[in-house]
Structure 1
Amino acid sequence: MIQRVQTIFLFLISLSMGFALLNPLWEKKGSLPTESARLTALQYEKIATLPSGGTSTSVDPLWYLAMLMAGVAILALYAVFQYRNRLRQTMMCAINAMLLTAIMGIALYQTLYKGKAFGNPDDQGNFLPGFYALIVALVCNALANRFIRRDERKVRESDRFR
């Protein structure tokens, strides 16, 4: 049935991935007010001031991060409609957990290692709402998996009584 509680969590995973795709994940200010670095799902952008007085913009595309986020959202939506096969839903949640771990690893690598070289090395920068949406997706995925396994256990117990 679609109205089970794990459906809500799977739908929340898709919503949070969409939110993370549309909002920046991290931002750091440089030593000058015009300098900044920003991480979104599509790019890592650095704006620096040149000694001549102009500004330099460096953009590193991160299309693979956006593809992973979209993949997690699509897989979670597909898992919603696999309610008749709970083992398949569990497998999809496991795949989503691996993809979400990869997304978090990429985001943390970009912020903590590549971002540290920009501006003040002691300043870590600020995590923005898009990053927290990734954490929400991880928690919702764990909860969805827990409720799917609970339903499967109930069905197996009821089959023993028959």
Structure 2
Amino acid sequence: MIQRIQSVFLLLVTALLTANIFIPVGSFLDSNGALYPFSPLNVNLPSAGLNYTPWGQLSLLVLAALVSFATIFLFKNRKLQIRMGIFNMLIMAGYYIVFLLFMLLTKGRTQASFQISFGLCLPLIAMILNFLAIRAIRKDEDKVRAADRIR
């Protein structure tokens, strides 16, 4: 049953979240006019002495990608598949909360401003695709229940 439309949606969610790990989600612009990219793999802001990996964001992206990929193979248990999809939506919402906290704390430590990049939109697109997958799974569940009532 991997050829179902929800499986395609979930596979796209996995691809978007995996790509978001490597794509910069924004850039810090320090007072000298230098632009420093910020991705979930690395933050490098020499003026503030920051050069590390934001593990909270990285772990949430990896977890969400793994959950969406594992959800594809739960097609025999549609109720669990729906629950995993909802859990994945919560993880992606948590990613945005952690990102916002990290950005505000970093801006508080430095005089750098932050510019948002396209990479920040990828988890939002993944959330929309995940919602569409949940909706398609619910339609399948309704069809199965309707067929069981006819028997």
Give unmatched runs, 5+ long, in structure 2.
none
How far 1:43 moved relative to its partner? 3.6
User: How many residues matched?
Assistant: 150
- How far apart in 1 are the matches of 2:144 and 2:81? 15
The RMSD of aligned alpha carbons is 1.8
- What does 1:4-153 correspond to in 2, within 5 Å? 4-34=4-34, 36-48=35-47, 57-111=49-103, 113-117=104-108, 118-119=110-111, 125-153=114-142
Give unmatched runs, 5+ long, in structure 1.
49-55
How far 1:150 moved relative to its partner? 1.2
Structure with bigger gyration radius: 1
How far 1:115 moved relative to its partner? 4.5
Q: Could you report, residue by residue, the CA deviation over 1:79-108 in whole angstroms, capped at 9, with x for unpaired residues?
A: 111111111111110110111111111112
Give the TM-score of the pair, scaled to structure 1.
Answer: 0.83
% identity of equivalent residues:
25
Contact between 2:26 and 2:39, CA under 8 Å: does it hold in 1?
yes
How far 1:59 moved relative to its partner? 2.4
Q: Could you report, residue by residue, the CA deviation over 1:104-155 in whole angstroms, capped at 9, with x for unpaired residues?
A: 11112223x12443436xx5x3222321111111111111111111111111
- How far apart in 2 are the matches of 1:110 and 1:143? 29
Between structures 1 and 2, the one with greater helix share: 2
- How far apart in 2 are the matches of 1:62 and 1:28? 15
Give the TM-score of the pair, scaled to structure 2.
Answer: 0.88
